Amino acid sequence: MIDALFSWLLLPLGFALGWALSRGYPHQGRAITPEKLGGLVTHLVSDNPDETLAALSEAAEMDSSAAEMHLTLGNLFRKRGEVDRALHIHEDLLARPNLPPELRNQARFELAQDYHKAGLMDRAEEISLALAAEGQYTVPSLELVRTIYEQGRDWEQAIRISRRIESAKGESKREVIAQYYCELAEEARARKDAAAALDLAERAASEDPSCIRAQLLLGALQEAAGEGAEAAKHYRLAFERDPRFLPEVIEPLRRCAEKTGDAEAYLLFLQDAKEMSPSSLPILAEAHLMRQEGLEVADYLAQGLETRPGRAVLAEFLEVLEHQPGVVAAGLDKPAASLRSAIRKLMETTPRYRCSHCGFSPRQLFWQCPSCKQWATTTPIDDVLKS
């Protein structure tokens, strides 16, 4: 499908390129003539573009129209994944001394993208930074450099380049900068440097007060340090700023309440959660507390299924139901257990998160979507069953 589309794009491009070259240099012995154009188009659409590249190089000189056609063709090759051919075209353009400055800069930027696509990050970075320093393609060049630093996990450089993008573009990058600080905090946490991790997480929260990740990270760091009350404050802040993240905080808040002995605070949180979120998780959490107290939960779970039907609550209800004397006497305990097992298995394979930008649906939380590379676009999926 992609090859067919590429061929259709190349067909008019070949005619336009031949027209531009022959129009600009009708007396050049090495110009592309209408006769050569037929063969050129044939090579383009037959997936044999090497002779096309040779034909394009025949023109001793090049006007703006022809250069633009070269740039378009190079861009098409890169998007098709034929980076070597894109590099050939753009390097050939830059080797021409008579290329107008604006087209030379465009070719340089295209070449930087070619190098990036080819994995030659140093070359892509060098060209992009040079263009930005000259005030040419400043924002897209800096954005490309930022992407390179992200891929290399060079978060400090990514922060610095994002500051430059802010200045050049006049647009805040605080949200993504906060994510970079969180990445640095996670690295410090991994090497057991709790003080540095806490400082970096606080810088992330200061950079972007709405950053959910920063609050969750601060909560986890404070909890690990034995500061249950302080940890609970950050977990609650994360939930209040985006109730969709209830699955990420409900269990940590239970642990904090257990450590601090403040069960009332946890119960109040569950009440707030039922008001702020459609999730069935508060029902499940309250049922667990009731069972710990030796209370019967079958009726409570049944009511919860009516108001907030969710797979986890349904599985819990079936587990309780299969031990009920009446169910056992009727021989329905094994069917109930089988259904519960099937639901649990379904829960183990069902996506738990979804990226709002591209729809990628993983089972673990990614702060940068692996598919579209956007930051902070992946959120938990509501567990309530839709009718």
| Dist CA 360 CA 372 (whole Å) | 8
Q: Looking at this protein, which amino acid is placed at residue 262? A: D
Binding site annotation covers 372?
Answer: yes
- Residue 331, by phi and psi: left (phi above 0), alpha (psi -120 to 50) or beta? left
208: number of Cβ within 10 Å = 21
- DSSP string covering 283-352, please? HHHHHHHHHHTT---HHHHHHHHHHS-BHHHHHHHHHHHTTSHHHHHTT-HHHHHHHHHHHHHHHHHS--
Q: Do 319 and 340 contact (CB within 8 A), yes or no?
A: yes
**Contact status, residue 197 vs residue 189, Cβ threshold 8 Å:** yes
Contacting residues for 147 by C-beta, under 8 A, at least 6 apart = 116, 373
Q: Which amino acid is at 24?
A: G
User: What gap in Å lies between CA 43 and CA 15, rounded to an integer?
Assistant: 12
Contact 19, 85 (CB under 8 A): no
Q: Is 355 annotated as a binding residue?
A: yes
CA distances from 245 to 108, 275, 277, 352 (A): 44, 14, 9, 11
Cite the annotated binding site by residue number: 355, 358, 369, 372
Cite the annotated binding site for Fe cation by residue number: 355, 358, 369, 372
